[in-house]
Structure 1
């Protein structure tokens, strides 16, 4: 059964139940009930079947039935006003507060009319009591509407969080695979090239491939542990990489060919996990691009620790870049930097090569 039909079917069943009880109550009264009175009694509850499709129309039909029954002197309806309560609740839940206020005022006016036509001495306390009961249905419906909106907002926030997490995981996978596979590819090519002429170099390159592959698997496992549904195994709780692992990253890049130098300015200090990972991934992605595009030229990684910011600049001495188009890696670094209030710029250098600069705010509180 379609999901949208279930609430409507429930309303139809509720209307049938209320109608059957109303008819049974009317027939069970000592005095005979006229067909018109019975019809109006049915119309005071049967429209409940349409309460979610047309709540205002439902309430107007019930108000009309109760009003006509009062004008023709049929006395109290067997339904006891349950239809009005359900209709008021439905209008408050599904329509605006202004519409609910109008329907509430119309209902209170109807109740006053009923007391005026059925009783010689008007008792205002009875009207006030009835109005409070209707107001209770209104307040309950308003609370239900607010709860439904809050639930929808929470669901939208959860969906957005899942989407953002997917993007983050995709970015992590890109950073891990792009860097390590670039190193592996270059070292494997070097080993193949010098396998017969220079076996020590080939052996060292093959060792680098093995080490890089193991590190890639380790980082992949750490990332996939977050997604693991089966919790029988203990997850890898080792911290994500950060600038403390920068020396290893530089050493691994050097083994692939480029001469990388590191310059640190200002007193180095630890960063929070998020910005620390952001800084590491920026250097990792930049050095990956050096391996891919800069050739055998040198590269420099400069870190400047300021009072309130950390600036990282990665440059290389590659050839002049023409027709530069920003790729997914640069966009991913920029998005990651924006998460922590940072700014990333990247582009070709006029004299040749490429430069990537990241400026991260440091919160020393």
Structure 2
């Protein structure tokens, strides 16, 4: 719609100027004048063809009547600008070379009609300068558009990465705590009629695990709320400092867990700290879900440049054996996100082992 209005205005101005300057203009001249402006309506559809038609009409007018009609020159600038914004740089360079040649040819054709030399030089300089300015503006707009598109694509990728991160967090939180709850609920039902104290202990573990799960889910959801939302109360994500509570819940679920820490214990950056905690959490979840009766040994080694985590179990079958899931893949993705490496698989001596190395 905009291009149609623009073409109509330019055509009306150009035809009116022609009628005023040359009342005796023939049909061919009028047709060429129309072709210097009317094709602008198609500039978005066929930018190179539009510029070619406009230039050809300008050159034909210069050859026939010795005048390229400056009013029609606006269409050349608009068409040149459109080519610069829509076409590849190779096409733009070739098109601009042809445009310069046509401008020079137009001036030479005008010279054959006894046009004064100062006027010729003025037309040549105006034509070349106008094309350069239109091309530079078009290139600037094109680069700005490409930059905006890159920002939009980057924002879309960031949103997708954030969705994956949230899904991973939900998986880790829900899988671990629900595994403990499911196991202890089954134990309490079995013991309810035979050993009430043990059943109460199992139910207490269910209560604690569900409370912890709700707390972590609430913490995760609060991260998604606007910073100025009423009642926003951000708490730090868990890290290795929370490892003891994780271990105690697993022990309460009936899985013996031993923890060995070596090296200089020190605070870690939030990202790697959370990653380390989630790796241990998911490994313990796999033990509860898949390993059967098993004992677990957790080794945390604070090296000078690397944090090494090992979660080793002696289950009768590998922890993680069973239907494919997101657990190990999620742990590996987390670790690689912070430049680390994670390996997981059956151990030669039996059981299953997970090893993660994170650069500090």
TM-score computed with the length of structure 1 as normaliser = 0.91
Choose from 8, 11, 15 the match for 1:19.
Answer: 11
| Unaligned stretches of 5+ residues in structure 2 | none
Choose from 134, 140, 149 the match for 1:143.
Answer: 140
Q: Which moved more, 1:336-345 or 1:116-125?
A: 116-125
Shift of 1:260: 0.5
2:302 aligns with 305
1:81 alignment partner, SS class: helix
Shift of 1:120: 4.4
1:91 aligns with 83
2:37 aligns with 45
| Unaligned stretches of 5+ residues in structure 1 | 1-8
Query: Which runs of structure 2 are paired with 1:1-365 in the superposition (5 Å)?
Result: 9-29=1-21, 31-73=23-65, 75-77=67-69, 79-118=71-110, 119-121=115-117, 123-124=120-121, 126-228=123-225, 232-321=229-318, 324=321, 327-362=325-360
Shift of 1:236: 3.1
Q: Say if 1:192 and 1:202, in contact at 8 Å, map to a contact too.
A: yes
Q: Which moved more, 1:152-161 or 1:137-146?
A: 152-161
1:235 alignment partner, SS class: coil
Q: Say if 1:320 and 1:351, in contact at 8 Å, map to a contact too.
A: no
2:209 alignment partner, SS class: helix
Q: Which runs of 4+ in 1 moved over 6 A?
A: none
Count the aligned residue pairs: 354
1:263 alignment partner, SS class: strand
2:224 alignment partner, SS class: coil
Seen in structure 2, the aligned counterparts of structure 1 residues 189 and 243 have a Cα distance that, compared at 3 Å, is same
Q: Say if 1:25 and 1:78, in contact at 8 Å, map to a contact too.
A: no
1:72 alignment partner, SS class: helix
Seen in structure 2, the aligned counterparts of structure 1 residues 88 and 121 have a Cα distance that, compared at 3 Å, is same
Shift of 1:68: 0.6
Q: Say if 1:41 and 1:79, in contact at 8 Å, map to a contact too.
A: no
Q: Which moved more, 1:110-119 or 1:27-36?
A: 27-36
